Amino acid sequence: MPSPSQPESNGGVKKRVSRRRKTAHLKHVPDRLALREEIRDRCYQICEKLDKSRPLSKDEMEKIVRRLLTEMELSESYVGWTMVMMASAFWRDQVSAIPPERRLFLLPHCLKHAEGCPADYDQFGLDCKTCGACSIADYRTQAEELGYRVLVAEGSPIVMKILVSGYVDAVVGVACLNVLEKAFDKILLAGIPCMAVPLHSSDCRNTSVDEQWVFDMVHLPHREPQQKTATYVHLMRAAQDMFEREELTRLIAPQRQTEATAHAKLSELPNLDPIGATEQLAIDFIGRGGKYSRPFTTLAVYDSLTGGHGTSANGAAHVAEYSDAVKRGALAIETFHKASLVHDDIEDDDEYRYGEPTIHRQFGVSTGINLGDYMIGLGYRLVSREVKTLGADVVAKIVDHLAEAHMRLSEGQGAELLWRDSTSKELTPIDALKIYALKTSPAFEAALHCGIALAKTTEEYRDEMRKFARHVGVAFQILNDLKDWLGDSDNKLSAGNDIIGGRPTVLWALALQSLNEDRKAELIQVANAPDLTAHSKIQRVRTLYLEGGVFEAAEQLVEKYRAKAEEIADGIEPEAFRRLLYYLVDSILETTDNHKPTILIPTTTLEFPLAAPTS
């Protein structure tokens, strides 16, 4: 039973009332140490009574925090800071259960003294020198002596990659509230132990922190917790592990590969056997990059419908026993996705994918088309050859869902291409959303249905998953539109690509709907102007989008579809499946306070070369 301090729930997970809003006014830091200590101590008192078998959702935590601040007669402006305290209190026992050598210590570069700092920045953040000029070196030395891995960076997205790769199992960090919200939210949602000490301000020059708190956090002793908290990290790692070269090759079971070509790289393609080159290129591209969210979804759905043991304390051992048939079902989803990316890059003539030149830019359009076709066939083969293991009915269900997703995705892409090549640039928001529902949702829906079929459940969930996937997919694509104006270091490395590529977006449709006739005509003229530089074109379109309130309207649509997805999840049983759907909504539809569009210069994506984890 939940404690009196924890929100009442239905089947363990409270059905949601979506209430997203701007949070900048909720991020004030209490200005007195005594008050900060009082709030922190109250958070620990509350968390001692909470059920820690599953992570608190952000909404649940905010309700507890607001109740606490009301009882203490404090301003709601402390909500953000107090939520960090509450999360740290909730996860303290779980962090303590992880030995220091399996913890990551994340430090902000803004703790340095701006004047006279001798350190340089590299792809991992600040290359800190032990000069004694600031506290960073002191913290780092203490942590490294205890066995921590230390990263000096500002909310680096590489943190999640390090966690999922298996190098560490918990994170302790120091950062301002804005960075903590961006860098730690997804970690906490996944059920990964995490603690943080907020900086006293968001000023990135010579800021300060409660140093004793940092010392106590880093020196947290290693001991077993009273209760283990459910986590998705085991399933995340299982999804990623399938794409390690040796395991990926084993699961695909290449037909053309020889011992000499088993570890060949794309750069060696001209020297490969021509007959085996396509297969080798496919294996390399499938394992090249991505977040593997679709195979994770399939594995997590399968787990949630077969007992939910993969999220338990012994989840790693349980997930390790998954059959190759289950793994190949999840792998097939990613194979289809990678095929669509190769073809989509050709159709849009995109330059970059996963921080590298796209396939057709490296090897030519013809090779790119052929590679996409090959991966489609490979995806079907991964499933069709598991009849003996899964049974004909299960395989037929999976193939049917994959085929339907493939056709609907092609319809959506076809609609986009017809619009792009049309002389008329009229587009209504509803038509843009229809294209999104066809382009983005089917692959996600197929991942859900594949997990359901693999679990061999008697419940089909067909209608519910189609609606859920449509709502999440549409919201995700709108967020992707907004992200296009912020730049994307993972894929498309410059901002405003949708305008340059002439692709139909809901942002464009909203602008046409909201602008007056003169501004609407100007928007169309600017977008089609052949003599304007890309920079000038993007800047002018950006100005018109801002004038039309396009970015705010798009964010409202995201929240509308988020709420619709959560409403579908509310009616799903069993509880483990419902909890997973809530997690997917929160993690896929990750948002920031607002989307301030900027113009970015392309950069190179750099990897984090850590040694292989030790057992």
Q: How many CB atoms lie within 10 A of CB 69?
A: 18
User: Is the bond into 270 cis (omega within 30 degrees of 0)?
Assistant: no
Same domain, 124 and 195: yes
374 burial (CB, 10 Å; 0-12 / 13-18 / 19+) is middle
According to DSSP, residue 611 is labeled: P
Cβ–Cβ under 8 Å, residues 163 and 233: yes
Residue 266 lies in a domain: yes
Residue 161 lies in a domain: yes
Final residue belonging to a domain, choices 193, 214, 229: 229
Report the Cα–Cα distance between both ends of the chain, in Å, rounded.
36
CA distances from 285 to 176, 350, 377 (A): 38, 16, 15
Exposure on the CB side of residue 216, measured as CA atoms within 13 A = 11
Residue 327 lies in a domain: yes
Same domain, 114 and 243: no
Instruction: Name every residue whose Cβ is closer than 8 Å to that of residue 183 and which is 6 or more positions away in sequence.
Output: 106, 155, 156, 157, 159, 173, 175
- Two tokens, residue 377: 């066939």
Domain extent for 380: 233-390
Same domain, 182 and 248: no
- Two tokens, residue 465: 């998953």
- Token pair 């995490």 is found at 194
Whole-number pLDDT of residue 603:
31
Same domain, 214 and 81: yes
Whole-number pLDDT of residue 109:
65
Residue 574 lies in a domain: no
- Two tokens, residue 26: 């909720």
Helical segments of 423-549, H only:
429-439, 441-454, 462-484, 497-501, 506-514, 517-528, 534-547
Final residue belonging to a domain, choices 201, 229, 257: 229
Residue 260 lies in a domain: yes
Same domain, 163 and 249: no
Residue 542 lies in a domain: no
Instruction: Name every residue whose Cβ is closer than 8 Å to that of residue 180 and which is 6 or more positions away in sequence.
Output: 84, 155, 173, 196, 198
Which candidate, 115, 103, 108, places its Cα nearest to that of 178?
A: 108
Cβ–Cβ under 8 Å, residues 169 and 103: yes
Domains in the chain, number: 2
Whole-number pLDDT of residue 609:
36
Q: What is the pLDDT of residues 334-365, one digit of tens each?
A: 999 999 999 999 998 888 898 889 999 999 99
Whole-number pLDDT of residue 176:
84
Torsion 57-60-65-68 (CA) sign: negative
Which candidate, 136, 104, 112, 133, places its Cα nearest to that of 218?
A: 104
Same domain, 59 and 207: yes
Same domain, 324 and 207: no
Radius of gyration of the chain (CA): 25
CA distances from 277 to 133, 261, 346, 352, 381 (A): 55, 9, 20, 22, 18
Final residue belonging to a domain, choices 229, 258, 282: 229
Cβ–Cβ under 8 Å, residues 499 and 611: no
- As a whole number of angstroms, the distance between CA 597 and CA 383 comes to 42
Residues of the chain with pLDDT under 70: 1-25, 109-135, 154-157, 183, 202-206, 257-272, 486-495, 591-615
Cβ–Cβ under 8 Å, residues 320 and 240: no
Cβ–Cβ under 8 Å, residues 450 and 329: yes
Q: What is the pLDDT of residues 502-526, one digit of tens each?
A: 889 999 999 999 999 999 999 999 9
CA distances from 379 to 327, 328, 403, 435, 454 (A): 12, 9, 11, 24, 16
- Two tokens, residue 365: 């359009």
- Two tokens, residue 59: 């909404």
Residue 412 lies in a domain: no
Which candidate, 155, 153, 183, 124, places its Cα nearest to that of 590?
A: 183
Same domain, 178 and 140: yes
According to DSSP, residue 310 is labeled: G
- As a whole number of angstroms, the distance between CA 273 and CA 256 comes to 9
User: Which CATH number fits the domain that encloses residue 242?
Assistant: 1.10.600.10
Whole-number pLDDT of residue 83:
94
Same domain, 152 and 285: no
Q: How many helices (DSSP H) and strands (DSSP E) are in the chain?
A: 26, 8
Same domain, 211 and 72: yes
Same domain, 153 and 199: yes
User: Is the bond into 99 cis (omega within 30 degrees of 0)?
Assistant: no
- As a whole number of angstroms, the distance between CA 310 and CA 314 comes to 7
Same domain, 285 and 175: no
Residue 329 lies in a domain: yes
- As a whole number of angstroms, the distance between CA 259 and CA 211 comes to 56
Cβ–Cβ under 8 Å, residues 537 and 526: yes
